[in-house]
Amino acid sequence: MTNAAISSSAPAVRRKKRDSDRIDLIPLHLYGLRRRTVNIVTLACGLFAIFTLIPIWWILVSSTKTPPNFNSTFGFWFARPFVLFSNVRDVFSNKEDGSFQQWLVNTVIYAGAGGIGATVLSAMAGYGFARFNFRGKNALFLFAMAALLIPIAAFAVPLYLVYAKVHLDSTMPGIFIPFMVSPVSVYLMRVYVGGSVPRELMDAARIDGAGEAKIFLRVAVPLMVPALVTVFMLNVVSSWNNYFLPFIVNNNAKLNTLTQGLALWMNHTNIAGTSEDFTVLTIAAGMISITPLILMFLALQRYWRGGLLLGGITG
């Protein structure tokens, strides 16, 4: 086949592919939506995306500047000299009030343990609330949800006093154990299990002689993948960004989280008479600290979205 024939057939192939894709699309009028409404919603989503991405862009741009340029140039565009790599090197080499590497490792441990623990406990609790009937189930569930109404500051003093009694203050377990308790995750898991884990599959497994633990692990958990990934991601982000709880229960500088360490660096800049400016250093460290979260979302979104579609089909 000649090059001219190939080039002439290319538009026909693309047109055929577009036609085949349209077959799988549901017309908008079946949703009861007009084209104008869809355009307005799309525009609103685009504006919201821009609003969300602006702080990330500002952090990236500011991380490439020197302290004098940071204070004298436009905040949303680059300036010369471009010192991003130098700032990143300074972040990892600066030992003021602790090591950024140590803070990063500590935060990974806390967020990982808290995310995994919250996911496991919430999955079991949500499955139990959704699929078992027992006395006081609704009262116990409402009691768990009532924790959302209490501000976290109200837990500070009781939590510290309890930790002091059992010697968990200023310890790694003492920092990540509170991250493993998430009423919101329990609610999400209960709702998801109720809609996407058919009772018929569970009854069939019981008829085949499977125990409750095997039913949960072999039947329910594979169908709960989208909810498990969602809960894990939400709890990792919550644990990663938490400043208040580690600040309350931790007095050991070696166990500081990223949020605590970056707060210490910023405090140096705000001290009167201090000659060293930690602002750009802290911003560069902040950019590095959000990078693992972005990579986590990019790595898990395929399983997350695929799992959501699977859950919708099986439900």
pLDDT digits (tens, 9 = 90+) for 188-230: 999 888 888 888 888 898 888 888 899 999 989 998 888 899 8
Task: Say yes or no to pLDDT of 92 above 50.
Answer: yes
pLDDT for residue 307:
47
12, 42, 138, 231 from 190: Cα distances, Å: 49, 31, 12, 12
Angle at 46 between CA 42 and CA 50, to 5 degrees: 170
pLDDT digits (tens, 9 = 90+) for 275-291: 567 888 899 999 999 99
CA torsion angle 43 49 235 265 (round to 10): -160
**DSSP assignment letter at 27:** P
Residue with tokens 């967020």: 111
pLDDT digits (tens, 9 = 90+) for 292-305: 999 998 888 776 65
The CATH number of domain 94-314 is 1.10.443.10: no
pLDDT digits (tens, 9 = 90+) for 17-30: 665 555 555 565 55
Q: What is the DSSP string of 210-279?
A: --HHHHIIIIIHHHTHHHHHHHHHHHHHHHHH--HHHHHH---GGG--HHHHHHHHHHHHHSTT-----H
CB of 278 closer than 8 Å to CB of 298: no
Q: What is the DSSP string of 101-128?
A: HHHHHHHHHHHHHHHHHHHHHHHHHHHH
Q: pTM here?
A: 0.81
CA distance 197 to 285: 43
Strands (DSSP E) found in 15-155:
none
Domain boundaries, the chain: 28-82, 94-314
